[in-house]
Amino acid sequence: MKNELKKYFIITYGCQMNEHDSEKLAGMLEGIDYQKAGQVEEADIILLNTCTIRENAELKVFGKVGELKRLKENNPELIIGVGGCMMQSKKAVQQLYEKHPQVDLIFGTHNIHHVPDLIQRIEKERGRIVEVWDEEEGLIPDLPSVRESDFKAWVSIIQGCNNFCTYCIVPYVRGRERSRPLKEIVSEVERLAAEGVKEITLLGQNVNSYGKDLEEKVDFADLLQELDKIPGLQRLRYMTSHPRDFSNKLIEVIKDSRSVCEHFHLPIQSGSNSILKKMNRGYNREKYLELVNKIRQEIPEASITTDIIVGFPGETEEEFQETMELVREARFDSAFTFIYSARTGTPAAKMEDQIPEEVKKDRLNRLMTLQNQISLEKNQEDLGKIVEVLIEGESKNNPETLMGRDRRNKLVIIPRAEGVIGEIVKVKINRVQSFTLYGEVV
Ligand code: SAH
Ligand code: SF4
Ligand code: F3S
């Protein structure tokens, strides 16, 4: 019987929210009797879950859709669906619909719970369907997920974003902030912990806004405090927190908690006050550094990481140097660095003085060189230290070794024989690089 089930294959771009949405899509497809295909060629249905945060992300999607055309030619029964953030743009939908007749289904971020119905309609009637909602209708209902991992899980706590940073497309494609009721989150985490999940990552574009839109009086710190009590759960993480409203209460709760990991991802975006203002970030470099210092004082073992954009419209060499200076001062453990990408519909895309591509690339290179050096120096401080690592799987480049992450989210590599995937081990660090720690289990 099992072999007769039709097969699905999902390709995901973008951030953890998209990864998590893909787990829900998988859950719904299994609910209508599909099973996961080992390879894309075996699939009866292929879904692309897209991202539109930067132009590169979109180019990848168009490239992939083009590639899939060949599969459709070999198998006209194949259903190809494209959903996710990029499909919230009318222009992208139009381009896809007109130039890529191999695409049968287009859906948005607000109606993923309708995908099984839409697929069944296509199976019956064989037509093309475009269903994208402009606006969210409250929370997307709880959906069953097929998780990639037995020991790690994502839990969504707030959807959407109200911040409207001037460069960012997310508020336009994910809608306004909607928090999930505390009780629902607690029971989901309880269930996952009882199933043996060791690490949970709470998801939201801005988790510290949690609760602002709820009737009950709860905030993100209260939520962490509640979840910390759940037995069995060993590690609690969250993505992403905004530096603007990272409260003292939150630092205290994290400090006193058992399970919340000692990792703070605080996207600074720029070290220049004038640029931060144009970005509408709601803090300045002084406030940001104050926050970093407070965290280091309260939780000295914590890692602090960030996101930085270079080449925002109008960014001068001096303003870029302020970012370099901030990076030297803050000494991040690591940073995701991006070249500014103009997104149609955002205020920054209309600003004057868009920076030439070569200048942006040159700034990115200088910034990366600086940060890599700092990351290496930071990691060198770990030599001889013992860290707690959750082993996640085989390491990418060397099947003789396993990789995992310590509580600070640093990547740690150990010899294969010394660990078991899904287990937490203590590792003594004996060699380091900019992005990786190497060690032996003690
Ligand atoms: N909600 C998160 C960020 C989500 S997007 C937050 O506010 O921190 C992840 C990162 O992509 C951002 O932190 C930013 O550094 C980068 N990013 C967003 N829009 C971008 C754009 N138009 N060009 C380049 N990088 C961008
Ligand atoms: Fe985008 Fe800013 Fe919202 Fe993050 S906080 S998703 S950068 S608008
Ligand atoms: Fe991309 Fe959407 Fe995430 S635009 S970064 S997948 S919220």
Convert the pLDDT of each residue in 276-290 to its tens digit: 999 999 999 999 999
The answer to whether the CB of 52 is under 6 A from ligand 3 is yes
Amino acid at 140: I
pLDDT at position 249 is: 96
Residue with tokens 């998209």: 18
The answer to whether the CB of 13 is under 6 A from ligand 1 is no
Residue with tokens 């072999």: 3
Average pLDDT for residues 342-349, to the nearest whole number?
A: 97
With 90 as the cut, is the pLDDT of residue 92 above it?
yes
With 70 as the cut, is the pLDDT of residue 96 above it?
yes
* Peptide bond preceding 240 in cis form (omega within 30 of 0): yes
Average pLDDT for residues 238-259, to the nearest whole number?
A: 96
The answer to whether the CB of 303 is under 6 A from ligand 2 is no
The answer to whether the CB of 206 is under 6 A from ligand 2 is yes
**Between β-strands 6-12 and 34-36, what pairing exists: parallel, antiparallel or unpaired?**
parallel
With 60 as the cut, is the pLDDT of residue 251 above it?
yes
Query: Tokens standing for 422?
Result: 């899904």
The answer to whether the CB of 307 is under 6 A from ligand 1 is yes
pLDDT at position 397 is: 87
In angstroms, the CA 237 to CA 391 distance is 16
Percent of the chain, pLDDT > 70? Answer: 99
Q: Give Cα 347 distance to the centre of its chain.
A: 23
Ligand 1 centroid distance, CA of 396 (Å) = 26
Confidence band, pLDDT 50/70/90 cuts, at residue 26? very high
Confidence band, pLDDT 50/70/90 cuts, at residue 135? confident
pLDDT at position 282 is: 97
With 70 as the cut, is the pLDDT of residue 1 above it?
no
Beta-bridge partner residues of 373: none
Mutate which of 309, 360, 363 for ligand 1? The one with the most ligand atoms within 8 Å of its CB, which is 309
**Ligand 1 atom nearest to 267, measured from its CA:** 8
**Ligand 1 atom nearest to 348, measured from its CA:** 22
| Cα 242 to Cα 264, 265, 325, distances in angstroms | 10, 9, 21
Confidence band, pLDDT 50/70/90 cuts, at residue 3? low
Ligand 2 centroid distance, CA of 273 (Å) = 18
Confidence band, pLDDT 50/70/90 cuts, at residue 138? confident
**Between 270 and 141, the higher pLDDT residue:** 270
Beta-bridge partner residues of 411: 405
The answer to whether the CB of 309 is under 6 A from ligand 1 is yes
pLDDT at position 258 is: 96
With 60 as the cut, is the pLDDT of residue 2 above it?
no
With 80 as the cut, is the pLDDT of residue 442 above it?
yes
pLDDT at position 126 is: 87
